[in-house]
Amino acid sequence: MRILHTMLRVGNLDASIAFYTEILGMRLLRRKDYPEGKFTLAFVGYDDESKAAAIELTHNWGVESYDRGTGYGHIALEVPDAYAACAEIKQRGGNVSREAGPMKGGTTVIAFVDDPDGYKIELIERRQ
């Protein structure tokens, strides 16, 4: 078994695709409208879905926002340098909600970025 994708419901599909592709550097892997179901699915990721997990962005037509509740945590991305990643994300117009630095009670360098719907994306600095 392997993880195929994580699904997020989004209010503005174009803004979400722009965030994940232009700010976080993913690629739009595929996108399809389902008129009978009144929704669109877009898959974004860093590699082909046969090789790596993706994020499924689900846009239900006519829904502009969702209550994320308290159960959602975050999606984690590995980065070589969390400080440089934050600077680049800010330069691209992204929102860094927690600057790079050691995690509370530890030494691993992390940061958090918010996507257009407020979902948290954790950046974890890869250890050499």
User: Residue 41's closest CA among 60, 21, 65?
Assistant: 60
Answer yes or no: 122 catalytic: yes
Percentage of the chain exceeding pLDDT 70: 99
- Domains 5-60 and 75-125 alike in fold: yes
Question: Which residue has better confidence, 69 or 85?
Answer: 85
- Whether residue 102 contacts residue 78, with contact meaning beta carbons closer than 8 Å, is answered with no
User: Helix, strand, or coil here: 90?
Assistant: helix
What pLDDT shows up at residue 70?
79
Domain 75-125, CATH class in plain words: alpha beta
Q: Which fold has domain 5-60?
A: 2,3-Dihydroxybiphenyl 1,2-Dioxygenase; domain 1 (3.10.180)
Domain range annotation of the chain: 5-60, 75-125
What pLDDT shows up at residue 81?
97
Q: What's the angle, vertex CA 13, arms to CA 55 and CA 6, rounded to 5?
A: 15
Q: Which of 49, 78, 88, 122 is catalytic?
A: 122
pLDDT digits (tens, 9 = 90+) for 103-117: 989 999 999 999 999
